């Protein structure tokens, strides 16, 4: 019998077969009143329900690459669940700034606090400055979603140094820099949730993706290593592995033939949506997933099957 079951037995009113337990020292009328009250309200011998994703009020979340695509969906879902959100974006032109401002307006409409700032996740100093600013503005950090990522597809014998470096440094170095920067806050409070956005191509690559596949495979390795190192401080570290997700970057940058092939490879026969990925991330940052760590969850419509 476990300690939990022992504790439960102490509080059960029907521990004696065919009757109710006596309440020592209680007069008869008080005894009857108490028994009537117990009959009315019942006795719960089960643990309290876990907090669902809708119970994130009071928590602070950081999302990298939060102004578009999957990142934007995650930012808004976290806000709808009550979390205050800090998100960064890569300032690569006027449109990127407009996208970030649009997300910030939506967060204000959802009545949560917001901190957003341009940040090149490849630069350790910028990452440290962003995390420090988020902490000073919003308070203690509880959730990190490493979403920022890019692709520069090309056959490896044609791939330039800068195409390799840009992808690996963004997708892998950026996640490491952010994880390292938030770790002291999470360890100090002995609580935290980290979710890395990897890819099915970190598990099974395709032609022309050697830089992308290597970065995402490395991100899966980082996920497992961080789970081992941070787990003793009650910090969960997991990854999602999206397949082909219908974002502007995908539909504008990938040929129709590749998208048709992706649909054929998916057992569900369709592309995913950013919300599909975000919903899985919301589960992983909730207390419903408190005993899951080091896991990589495909969100691919069966692409890997």
8 A C-beta contact, residue 141 and residue 192: yes
Token pair listed for 296: 């990589």
Enumerate the β-bridge partners of residue 138.
Answer: none
Helix (H) or strand (E) holding 39: helix 28-41
Catalytic residue of the set 185, 212, 244, 303: 212
Whether 131 and 179 have beta carbons less than 8 Å apart is answered as no
Helices (H), 63-173: 69-80, 94-109, 124-138, 161-168
Task: Provide the CB-side half-sphere exposure for 210 (13 A, CA).
Answer: 11
**What CA–CA distances, in Å, run from 32 to 16, 20, 72?**
17, 11, 58
CA 95 to chain CA mean position, Å? 26
303 counts as catalytic: no
Taking Cα atoms as reference points, which of 75, 184, 180, 74 lies closest to residue 140? 184
Q: For residues 64 and 88, what is the distance between their CA atoms, to the nearest angstrom?
A: 5
Distance between CA atoms of 28 and 5, rounded to whole angstroms? Answer: 29
Helix (H) or strand (E) holding 169: none
Active-site residues, by number, are: 212
């Amino acid at each position: 019998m476990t300690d939990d079951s022992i504790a439960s037995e102490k509080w059960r009113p029907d521990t004696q077969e065919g009757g109710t337990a006596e309440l020592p020292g209680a007069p008869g009328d008080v005894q009857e009143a108490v028994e009537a009250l117990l009959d009315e309200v019942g006795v719960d011998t089960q643990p309290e329900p876990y907090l669902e994703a809708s119970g994130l009020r009071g928590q602070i979340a950081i999302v990298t690459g939060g102004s578009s695509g999957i990142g934007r969906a995650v930012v808004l879902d976290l806000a709808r669940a009550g979390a205050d959100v800090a998100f960064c974006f890569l300032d690569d032109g006027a449109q990127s700034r407009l996208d970030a401002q649009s997300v910030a307006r939506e967060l204000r409409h959802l009545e949560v606090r917001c901190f957003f700032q341009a940040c090149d996740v490849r630069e350790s100093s910028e990452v440290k400055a962003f995390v420090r600013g988020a902490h000073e503005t919003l308070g203690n950090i509880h959730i990190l979603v490493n979403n920022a990522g890019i692709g520069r597809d090309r056959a490896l014998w044609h791939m330039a140094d800068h195409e390799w470096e840009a992808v690996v440094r963004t997708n892998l170095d950026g996640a490491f820099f952010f994880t390292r920067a938030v770790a002291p806050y999470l360890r100090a409070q002995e609580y935290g949730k980290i979710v890395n956005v990897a890819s099915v191509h970190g598990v099974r690559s395709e032609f022309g993706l050697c830089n992308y596949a290597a970065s995402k495979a490395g991100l899966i390795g980082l996920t497992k290593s961080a789970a081992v190192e941070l787990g003793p401080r009650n910090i969960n570290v997991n990854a999602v592995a999206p397949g082909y997700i219908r974002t502007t970057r995908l539909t504008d940058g990938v040929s129709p033939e590749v998208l048709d092939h992706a649909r054929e490879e998916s057992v569900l026969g369709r592309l995913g949506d950013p919300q599909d990925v975000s919903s899985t991330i919301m589960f992983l940052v909730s207390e419903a997933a408190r005993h899951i760590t080091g896991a990589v969850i495909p969100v691919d419509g069966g692409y890997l099957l």
